Amino acid sequence: KFTPFAAATSIPSCKIDFARARVSSNIDIVQGSEIKVNQGIMVNSKMQTNKKYIYAAGDIAEVWEQIEGKTGSFAIWPNAIEQGRIAGLNMAGKQTEYDGAEVVNVLDIFDIPVVAMGQISKDISKCKAISRSTPNYYKKLLVKNHKIVGLQFIGSIRNTGSFYSLMKKGSDVSGIEERLLDDIFVIAPDI
């Protein structure tokens, strides 16, 4: 059981506190070379650097995310696998493009399912937050320009796949935004 802190300015005493860690790419390997770097090694949609025969993938590559196109290092295993696959295919001569990183984290913390997808911390002041909570779960959607751009679910992960699909497709949810988290609301798979 937990208590959500929607707009709290301080956190009351608690037994557990969760923090998010940011992964930084170790770009020392290319320092002093002509390979372009920012937060990571910059790549194009083929995972190719600015040097024709040099590719980068995984935590060291700076790519864009699928929802809003922002660049960064999105260090989760499925992204690294897909980036490596795309880089390998292109190195082997099969022209293939990367669709962008998925910003998804799914885990269990003390047997409580937790899901975070899309935009969850940067520029949230520009988003509309829609949330629901009970003693058993907390759910929050972030909506920007009538499109879901992020979500956080704790305790219940029902419909997260459908919400991710809506995010990835950029579906317009105007008119139903406030009802999306209602327990009786069902998301049709073809939206």
User: In this predicted model, what pLDDT tens digit does every residue of 66-97 receive, in sequence order?
Assistant: 877 788 888 888 889 999 999 999 999 999 99
- pLDDT score at 13: 55
Half-sphere exposure of 118 (CA within 13 A, CB side): 27
pLDDT range class, residue 1, cuts 50, 70, 90:
very low
Which residue(s) pair with 101 in the sheet?
Answer: 65
CA pair distance 45, 36, nearest whole angstrom: 15
Pairing of strands 138-144, 147-154: antiparallel
* pLDDT for 141: 92
Tokens of 177: 């935004």
Mean pLDDT of 121-144: 86
For the chain, which domains are there?
28-91 (3.50.50.60), 104-179 (3.30.390.30)
Closest CA to 150 of 45, 65, 79, 24: 65
Q: Is the pLDDT score of 56 beyond 90? A: yes
Higher pLDDT, 138 or 159: 138
User: Sign (positive/negative) of CA torsion 120, 125, 129, 134?
Assistant: positive
Are 60 and 40 a contacting pair, CB within 8 Å? yes
Judge contact between 70 and 35, C-beta under 8 A.
no
47: Cβ contacts below 8 Å, ≥ 6 apart: 55, 56, 57, 61, 83, 86, 87, 90, 98
Q: Of 187 and 73, which is predicted with more confidence?
A: 73
Least confident span in 12-16, 145-149, 162-166, 184-188? 12-16
Q: What is the mean pLDDT of residues 176-184?
A: 85
**What whole-number distance in Å separates Cα of residue 113 and Cα of residue 56?**
33
| Residue 17 reports pLDDT greater than 90 | no
Q: Is 184 left (phi over 0), alpha (psi -120 to 50) or beta?
A: alpha
Nearest residue to 92 via CA among 58, 126, 61, 47: 47
- Cα–Cα distances (Å) from 54 to 33, 78, 84, 187, in that order, read 12, 22, 13, 43
48-57, 71-80, 128-137: the lowest-pLDDT one: 71-80
Asked if pLDDT for residue 7 goes beyond 70, the answer is: no
Amino acid at 66: Q
% of the chain beyond a pLDDT of 70: 82
Question: How far apart, in Å, are the Cα atoms of 3 and each of 21, 92, 125, 134, 139?
Answer: 22, 52, 22, 8, 12
Higher pLDDT residue, 18 or 88? 88
Confidence of residue 191 (pLDDT cuts 50, 70, 90): very low
